[in-house]
Amino acid sequence: MLSSFVRLLCRLRLKLRREPQKVTQTVNSSLPECPDCGHTLEKRKVHRNWQTDLPVIEPHVTCFETESGWCPQCQDHKHSICPGQIVTAEGAAAHGLGPKLKAASATLKHRYGLAYRKQSELFETLLGLKITPSGLCQSGQSVSSKLKGVYEEIAELLAQAANVNCDETGWRVGTASSWLWVFGNSENTFYRIEATRGHDVVVDVLGKDFAGVLSSDRAKAYDHKDLKNWLKQKCIAHLLRNLSDLEQKQQRGALRFARDVKSVLRAALKLKQQVSNLETAVYAKRAKALERKLDKLLSKDRNFSNEANRKMAASLAKQRPHLLRFLYHEGVDATNNQAERDLRPAVLARKTGRCNKTETGAETHAILASVIETLRKRGRNPIQDLTALLLAKKPTLNPFSSS
């Protein structure tokens, strides 16, 4: 009896999952009589199936009729503008792309990596709309110009944030080697494409007086003297991989160093997971014990018979203040996974050869990718919100808080 009731609940649960929340139309096909002999059917039942499909898609063309005239009082030429109008040019340029189409093109390019040439084919196939790749490229540049203030707003938010993850990856602008940098946290993402991998990019984006915690790998740029007084967290995941590689190359007693340091780091990760379940005093005592163990393992007075272990210990000793900082800052992650996730779309684009051909293209990509990814992190619909930003007199992120 109980098993039958459970099966009934499971079937009901599956039925609720299958049924869509919104039905656009209902089509009925009744069957009062047998289609073969014409006899009246008995015990008739109604069955429901749902079919989700694309609607008939046609371009939506709006004609904006405006007026202009000369004001003798102001001694100036005045021109009216309609709500929702972003095309204001005249002559051959009087027919342009609307905000939603521009937003869709920007999202396809800078979030999903769809080249303008393929977008041109897609719009013609799906909408019957002929737009040249160069026209879409110009559209992207105009959108990035409109959203440059929003881009700078994202940088300001990160400069004031309690914690920021940072990383960089190789890039190309034309034939020149460059670097795509990313700065981000749970709500904001900021991309920057520069010819250098130096620390000056970090200072320029976050400001020399950055007061939050900077999480990163152990690249030299993050250890520059200009960042000496910054609070930092080095990626524990990277360290564990480095220590595992070291351990595999060692034998007998030389194995202990890597194993012991890994044990302390893993214990710290476990302790951070328990922070909400432990009393403050207990948590602080355990954290202090881990600090002492790590200090002992990396002590400058320790003699190493193995050269590889000595070099690793010296390297970690330089980073010692930045290894366990995550234990004391609530929003700071022990790893740099946030930045690596933010870099993933760029890495995929690079694999398919979709870097940038010009400096203008690099700036356009940095601006639009930053805005789109920030909106996505906040649980927003990038196309809808980009459309709203393009229609705003002064675009800002303020209306687009996390949903």
Which of these ranges, 90-99, 198-207, 234-243, 358-367, has the smallest mean pLDDT?
90-99
**pTM to 2 decimals?**
0.85
Q: What is the pLDDT of residue 13?
A: 55
Q: What is the largest CA-CA distance in the chain?
A: 99
Report yes or no on 154 lying in a domain: no
Q: What is the pLDDT of residue 234?
A: 95
DSSP 346-390: HHHHHHTT--BSSHHHHHHHHHHHHHHHHHHHTT--HHHHHHHHH
Using the predicted structure, report yes or no on whether residue 243 has a pLDDT greater than 70. Answer: yes
Q: What is the pLDDT of residue 89?
A: 84
Report yes or no on 188 lying in a domain: no
**C-alpha span between 41 and 33 (Å, rounded):** 5
b/e map of 74-92 (b: 16 or more CB within 10 Å)? eeeeeeeeeeeebeeeeee
Residue 232 in contact with residue 222, Cβ under 8 Å? yes
Sheet holding 231-234, edge to edge: 189-194, 176-184, 163-173, 213-216, 231-234
Q: What is the pLDDT of residue 88?
A: 83
Q: What is the pLDDT of residue 86?
A: 85
Which of these ranges, 132-136, 320-324, 397-401, has the smallest mean pLDDT?
397-401
Using the predicted structure, report yes or no on whether residue 141 has a pLDDT greater than 70. Answer: yes
Using the predicted structure, report yes or no on whether residue 353 has a pLDDT greater than 70. Answer: no
**C-alpha span between 317 and 323 (Å, rounded):** 9
Using the predicted structure, report yes or no on whether residue 125 has a pLDDT greater than 70. Answer: yes
Q: What is the pLDDT of residue 290?
A: 96
Token representation of residue 180: 């795509």
Indicate the DSSP class of residue 187.
S
Question: CA distances (Å), 304 to each of 1, 187, 326, in order?
Answer: 70, 45, 29
Contacts 24+ apart (CB under 8 A), 301-308: 304/257, 305/254, 306/250, 306/254, 306/257, 308/246, 308/249, 308/250, 308/254
Report yes or no on 149 lying in a domain: no
Mean pLDDT across the chain, nearest whole number?
90
Q: How many CA atoms are closer than 13 Å to the CA of 47, on its beta-carbon side?
A: 5
Look up tokens 């040019």; give the residue: 89
Report yes or no on 310 lying in a domain: yes
Number of domains in the chain: 1
Residue 306 is part of which domain span?
236-334
Report yes or no on 259 lying in a domain: yes
Q: Which residue has the higher pLDDT, 91 or 266?
A: 266
Using the predicted structure, report yes or no on whether residue 152 has a pLDDT greater than 90. Answer: yes
CA gyration radius, the chain: 30
Q: What three-state secondary structure class fits 184? A: strand
Q: What is the pLDDT of residues 246-261, one digit of tens each?
A: 888 878 878 899 999 9
If pLDDT is split at 50, 70 and 90, which confidence band does 7 have? low
Which of these ranges, 78-87, 221-230, 310-319, 332-341, has the smallest mean pLDDT?
78-87
Using the predicted structure, report yes or no on whether residue 1 has a pLDDT greater than 60. Answer: no
**C-alpha span between 34 and 37 (Å, rounded):** 6
Indicate the DSSP class of residue 33.
B
Q: What is the pLDDT of residue 14?
A: 54
Residue 386 in contact with residue 107, Cβ under 8 Å? yes
Report yes or no on 330 lying in a domain: yes
Q: What is the pLDDT of residues 94-124, one digit of tens each?
A: 888 999 999 999 999 998 888 899 999 999 9
Report yes or no on 170 lying in a domain: no
Token representation of residue 396: 């800002």
Report yes or no on 243 lying in a domain: yes
Using the predicted structure, report yes or no on whether residue 397 has a pLDDT greater than 60. Answer: yes
Which of these ranges, 4-13, 20-29, 234-243, 306-315, has the smallest mean pLDDT?
4-13
Average pLDDT over residues 9-31: 74
Q: What is the pLDDT of residue 16?
A: 53
